[in-house]
Structure 1
Amino acid sequence: MRWPWQKEQRTEEITPEVDTALLQALLGSTTINKTEALNIPSVKSCIKFIADTVSMLPIKLYKDVGGKAEEVKNDARTDLLNDDTRDTLDAVQFWKALITDYFLGKGGYAYINRHLNNVVSLHYVDETHISTIKNTDPIFKSYRILVNGRDYWPHEFIKVLRNTKDGTQGQSIIEEHNLILSVAYNSLLFEETLVKKGGNKKGFVKSPKKLTQESMDKLKEAWKRLYSNNSENVVILNEGLEFQEASNTSVEMQLNENKETNSAEICKLFNIPENIIRGTATSKEYTNAFKMGVMPVLKTIECALNRELLLENEKSSFYFAFDTKEMLKGDIKERFDAYKTAIDANFMQIDEVRYMEDLPALDLNWIKLGLDSVLYDPKTKTIYTPNTDQTKQIDNLKGGEDDESGNQS
């Protein structure tokens, strides 16, 4: 008996040429797993930077009231997202685990434990325990989520998915860019092999006369012990034997250069400047990393939270959003120069700036205008000059004549 979503399996004959090509393709490529990918320093550092940033940003619930956003205080859902998930993981560990699965697995999944319409707790589920069953309709898609064989409805999970096309599972960095990650990982293995050999160079032994099989076996055994990285092991060459060191291969000579190049290329996969993981990033590089590498992840999370944690009658006016104000402030000089420009251009007030800097308001509800300014109201076609305290109508402006207000032109 077949399930409705299962296609009929047919056995097709594969030609020898196709079979050989498939075998060569499989033998010629190496697919690494999540654990191996995290052994690559640049991968680990980029994910850690993004995950740490996401876990530090507070998530707030807002309500749209007449076009103005008002923060909703004391909502249980924000407590679960920011502090205690009511699970074994706290909120920081929760987000770090989800972000790691987002990049290196099929996606980040968290079970929503509800009691009626109330969210009681959030439970992170490792993506390796997740599988999905979906229908075959490419338009009206539907699916169920399986956790260790038990099925759940999609709305019972927060799903943070990367590059998904069906909303069930995402595509990991490993699947998309396996080649560069495999090269970086195998470079580490190659370096480990060199270290295990104790730095001993490859080479060959020259002999002016033919050695017996017994002599060759003993020499091979001694050489094998020498490369076991034991400083007490030595090889004694009898009279007539000479060791000729083999030159380094191009791969050995460029190993460090290749590592740096691979590290830079991997950083590009995460849209993170390389100086970020080196700890030498400037303020501008840090801001760019946040905008290009972290903000897309934040938007994905916000959409997932709005879809699954809001009730249907809340979705028209409520929404979750990360508070990114602190991360986008930049250094103090750059920030204060921007505030000065905003105040001088009259599209921000002093108290608005003080609010952004978490300072108490001064109740200064006015906008500074220069006396040399001329103000024009396009609705009434009126010009007002503060310096002379005169008001004029555009339609009545004629040389030397009074306007309707009686002021001399």
Structure 2
Amino acid sequence: MGLFGRSRREDRAEGEVQFEDSLLQALLGSGEVTRETALQVPTVSGGIDLIANLVAGTPIKLYRDTGGKAEEVRDDPRLRLLNDETGDTLNANEFWRAITRDYYLGKGGYAYIHREKGEVVGLHYVDERKISVQRATDPIFKDFNLLVEGRPYQPLDFLKILRNTRDGAEGVPITRENSKLIEVAYQTLCFEGYLVKKGGNKKGFLKSQKHLTDAGMDALRSAWARLYSNASDNVVILNDGLEFQESSNTSVEMQLNENKVANAEEFAKLFHISTGAMSGKAGVDDVSNLARLAAIPLMTAIQCALNKDLLLEKEKGSLYWAFDTKALLRGSMKERFEAYQVALDANFMGVDEVRYEEDMEPLGLTWIKLGLDTVLYDPKTKLIYTPNTNQVSRMEAKSLHEPRAEPGKGGEDN
């Protein structure tokens, strides 16, 4: 049902003002941190780029659920749109990086689904700043249209990747939820830049015990401006009766370096990234944790959006999209090989299955190892096979006083 197809009653709250205009917010002092300001903070841009690289570098696959068994679909043309060419000016890598940035810094990541005769032929990224949301007023049966430069579109026309959304139309950016943290980090950078421009000199004022002439004040102002210009080595000589009084602290006195480290740890919590990964010193465990805690939750949101908007109604329930995260979670070579050893010993993986996981050519080995001391039991047929004696028995207990096993075909009783 369309946005204006329902009969609804519009309720207006008296005495409640919502500051949604950017100019009004700025005038009233309740403005938000912009995405441009947030990207000036290295920990913000670095954290987003780190997650975006993982999302953009992980292939998306299509699977068919056949009675509880996942069968990979390799010939669907939509796979090329998601992993290589989107049909837009952006390739798939650039597409997912742009979507990830809008996911964290804007109202969400949006992409127009270009369909021709019911077939998806392109995914066109749309800057979230070009999109407006036109909502219905019913809080239960929620509905909305998306406006792109004033032109309305239905929700099914767009792929929507939203953060902390409550209506499915737009999400909440970190610039709104964590504006104070980003603002403090940004102002710290601005203060450091000011100190560099001023040569590290403190702010202050001059106290004079006697009256200065206009010519003396002009000369003092000129000398003081040269001192703070940081363009050359300048010296200001204070005559008798002049005294400089400091009015600011240096970056060391304000412990800016310590504050930057503390802020970086707070940003690491925001993105669910370890401080080692944030500083570029991540080990294998940090990369694995980064994938589990930061990238995979975003991938899950993308998978849900793909299953909702990029599948036909007749395909839903049988087909589903999923990121191939095995490479992100496989860990170090030692950890992987130890896990494979357990899988081979327990006989729930074969040699060629292990080689496939490591992107190696199969050897054509289909056998599994059986220990001679192992007794095999089939709960469906209730047959017991002992490889060491090559005996087959059937477990049938007619009473508590009768033996539990009877001779079976091809062997004697155990």
- Deviation by residue 1:59-96 (Cα, 9 ceiling, x = unmatched): 12222223322222232211111111121111111111
In 1, Cα distance between the equivalents of 2:166 and 2:370? 53
Worse-superposed segment, 160-169 or 86-95: 86-95
How is 1:91-130 mapped onto 2 (pairs within 5 angstroms)?
91-130=92-131
Contact 2:209 2:242 in 1 (8 A): yes
**Residues 119 and 341 of structure 1: is their aligned pair in 2 closer, same or farther, counting only changes over 3 Å?**
same
In 2, Cα distance between the equivalents of 1:83 and 1:250? 48
Using the TM superposition, give the Cα deviation of residue 149 of structure 1 relative to its aligned residue in structure 2, in angstroms.
0.5
**Residues 232 and 9 of structure 1: is their aligned pair in 2 closer, same or farther, counting only changes over 3 Å?**
farther
Runs (5+) with no aligned partner, structure 1: 15-21
Worse-superposed segment, 65-74 or 83-92: 65-74
In 1, Cα distance between the equivalents of 2:204 and 2:256? 19
In 1, Cα distance between the equivalents of 2:15 and 2:325? 55
**Residues 147 and 240 of structure 1: is their aligned pair in 2 closer, same or farther, counting only changes over 3 Å?**
same
In 2, Cα distance between the equivalents of 1:135 and 1:330? 48
Contact 1:401 1:408 in 2 (8 A): no
In 2, Cα distance between the equivalents of 1:329 and 1:12? 57
Contact 2:396 2:404 in 1 (8 A): no
Which residue identity is paired with 1:85? Answer: T
**Residues 343 and 208 of structure 1: is their aligned pair in 2 closer, same or farther, counting only changes over 3 Å?**
same
Q: Does 1:80 align with 2:81?
A: yes
Using the TM superposition, give the Cα deviation of residue 160 of structure 1 relative to its aligned residue in structure 2, in angstroms.
0.5
Runs (5+) with no aligned partner, structure 2: 18-23
Contact 1:31 1:178 in 2 (8 A): yes
Alignment correspondent of 2:391: 390
What percent of counterpart residues are identical?
55
Alignment correspondent of 2:146: 145
In 2, Cα distance between the equivalents of 1:330 and 1:43? 26
Give the match's secondary structure for 2:75: coil
Give the match's secondary structure for 1:326: helix
How is 1:243-258 mapped onto 2 (pairs within 5 angstroms)?
243=244, 248=249, 252-258=253-259
- Deviation by residue 1:359-393 (Cα, 9 ceiling, x = unmatched): 22223223212112222333444433222223344
Contact 1:31 1:182 in 2 (8 A): no
In 2, Cα distance between the equivalents of 1:332 and 1:102? 33
Contact 2:375 2:385 in 1 (8 A): yes
How is 1:339-378 mapped onto 2 (pairs within 5 angstroms)?
339-378=340-379
- Deviation by residue 1:96-115 (Cα, 9 ceiling, x = unmatched): 11110000000000111111
Contact 2:8 2:138 in 1 (8 A): no
CA RMSD of aligned residues (A): 3.1
Contact 1:46 1:277 in 2 (8 A): yes
TM-score, normalised via structure 2 length: 0.87
In 2, Cα distance between the equivalents of 1:218 and 1:332? 71
Worse-superposed segment, 202-211 or 45-54: 202-211
Q: Does 1:404 align with 2:404?
A: no
- Deviation by residue 1:211-243 (Cα, 9 ceiling, x = unmatched): 345534542343233212221544232345454
